[in-house]
C-alpha cells in the first residue's frame, strides 16, 4: 500500500515524490514512458528566480503578499535542487550566476523600470549596472542585474 501515487516522472513528479518520501510517505511514481523523457528531458536546465510573469504583474493579478510568496518559493526551489544535487552526488556542474536584463529602446526601458519597481516591492535583489559582460548594445543605465542559477 502507498500513501501517494504520483503520475509523471518529470522534474515535477520526481521532486514531489522525493519531498513526500523525505517526509515519511510511501510513494509510487507512475511514468508512461521513461523517467525524465518528457519536457524535462528537453529543458535547457536554466533555473531562475525571476519568472516570465514579472513581479509587477504578479502583484497586480494576485496581490503583494502572493507576489512575495512567489519570490520566496522561486529562491527556495533552486535551493532544494542545489541541496538534492549535493545530497545525491549528482554530477550536474551546478553554478550560481548573475543574469542581466537590458533595454534596447525606450519602450523596453519603461518595461525595465516596471520590472525593477515590482521586484523591489517583493524584496527581490536587482540593481542597475553601467556595463554588461556581453557585446550587446543597450540604452545606458537600463540593464540590471538579477540573481539566477544555471545548470549547463
Ligand X SMILES: Cc1cc2nc3c(=O)[nH]c(=O)nc-3n(C[C@H](O)[C@H](O)[C@H](O)COP(=O)(O)OP(=O)(O)OC[C@H]3O[C@@H](n4cnc5c(N)ncnc54)[C@H](O)[C@@H]3O)c2cc1C
Site residues for ligand X per CB under 6 A: 7-13, 30-33, 37-40, 42-46
Q: Which is nearer to ligand X, 10 or 102 (CB)?
A: 10
User: Quick one: cell of 114?
Assistant: 516596471
Residue nearest to ligand X as judged by C-beta position: 10
Q: Which is nearer to ligand X, 102 or 150 (CB)?
A: 150
Q: State in angstroms the smallest separation of the CB of 48 from ligand X.
A: 6
Pairing of strands 95-101, 144-150: antiparallel
Q: Which is nearer to ligand X, 82 or 109 (CB)?
A: 82
Q: Which is nearer to ligand X, 12 or 53 (CB)?
A: 12
Q: Which is nearer to ligand X, 22 or 43 (CB)?
A: 43
Contacting residues for 37 by C-beta, under 8 A, at least 6 apart: 9, 31
Is residue 56 within 8 Å of residue 109, measured between CB atoms?
A: no
Q: State in angstroms the smallest separation of the CB of 92 from ligand X.
A: 13
Contacting residues for 85 by C-beta, under 8 A, at least 6 apart: 92, 94
Q: State in angstroms the smallest separation of the CB of 57 from ligand X.
A: 18
How many other CB atoms are there within 10 angstroms of residue 29's CB atom? 19
Q: State in angstroms the smallest separation of the CB of 14 from ligand X.
A: 7
Chain centroid offset of residue 97 CA: 13
Which helix (H) or strand (E) segment holds residue 116: the answer is: helix 106-121
Q: State in angstroms the smallest separation of the CB of 141 from ligand X.
A: 28
Amino acid at each position: 500500500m502507498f500513501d501517494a501515487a504520483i503520475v509523471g516522472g518529470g522534474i515535477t513528479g520526481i521532486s514531489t515524490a522525493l519531498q513526500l518520501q523525505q517526509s515519511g510517505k510511501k510513494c509510487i511514481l507512475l511514468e508512461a514512458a521513461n523517467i525524465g523523457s518528457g519536457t524535462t528531458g528537453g529543458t535547457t536546465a536554466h533555473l531562475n528566480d525571476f519568472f516570465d510573469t514579472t513581479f509587477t504583474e504578479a502583484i497586480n493579478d494576485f496581490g503583494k503578499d502572493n507576489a512575495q510568496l512567489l519570490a520566496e518559493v522561486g529562491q527556495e526551489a533552486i535551493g532544494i535542487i542545489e541541496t538534492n544535487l549535493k545530497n545525491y552526488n549528482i554530477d550536474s556542474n551546478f553554478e550560481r550566476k548573475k543574469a542581466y536584463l537590458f533595454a534596447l529602446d525606450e519602450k523596453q526601458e519603461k518595461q525595465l523600470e516596471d520590472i525593477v519597481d515590482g521586484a523591489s516591492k517583493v524584496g527581490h535583489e536587482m540593481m542597475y549596472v553601467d556595463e554588461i559582460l556581453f557585446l550587446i548594445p543597450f540604452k545606458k543605465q537600463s540593464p540590471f542585474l538579477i540573481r539566477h542559477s544555471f545548470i549547463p
